[in-house]
Amino acid sequence: MRAFPIAQAIGAIKLRSIDAGASFRKQTIGERAAKAKAATEFERSRAQLLGSADGVREAAESVRALMGEIAARVDEAKTSLDALGIRFGTTDTWCGLKTDTVATQCAYRNQIVNTLSEARLVVRDIRGGMLLPGEAGYYTSEPKVLEELILRPDIGRAEGWCWRDESDKLTTTAELADSFVARILTLVQADAAGELPDLW
């Protein structure tokens, strides 16, 4: 495959875009100022909402939406999940998927009524048994947390309410629901292959 210098490659991309009907021109100062104004106004509104009772309420609604999205994906894959011995339970604020030896948990906590500064959504991969919402029982030993992901409710300009991880990456509710269900499948496969720590 022939390699092109970066400048040539960029030129070729521009030429193809122009052939497809695109046009290129330098952004005017007025356009830059308008974009800066819109970005500044968005950040101001975002900060106000994240520090308000309205924001707390909307974030709680997003958590309920997340639990609903996860439940929908579990229902979609129910036949296969049942065959793998995977069970599911959920409430408005947390849910879990488990077998007898591995589990994933997604739990939201915010104890302040007028700010989201301490709000966290925690996703855990667990080695060992875990009680699901609505299940009765007790732990004979503490389950091992294999991995923990901490996210904060946030707002993206394009995404709306979403989830920000510790590296500042934003994830939509739909993306998070997909990845959460995928986590239990990864754990089950790793467990079957003998790649996880011993239970005890």
Question: 199 pLDDT exceeds 90?
Answer: no
More confident residue, 84 or 199: 84
3-state helix vs strand vs coil in the chain, percent to 5? 45, 25, 35
Provide mean pLDDT across the span 138-157. 91
**CA–CA separation, 52 and 113 (whole Å):** 8
More confident residue, 74 or 33: 74
**CA–CA separation, 148 and 124 (whole Å):** 5
Pairing mode, strands 160-165 and 87-90: unpaired
**CA–CA separation, 93 and 6 (whole Å):** 49
pLDDT band of residue 14 (cuts 50, 70, 90) is: low
**CA–CA separation, 98 and 95 (whole Å):** 10
Question: 24 pLDDT exceeds 70?
Answer: no
Q: Residue 136's pLDDT is what?
A: 84
Provide mean pLDDT across the span 163-167. 97
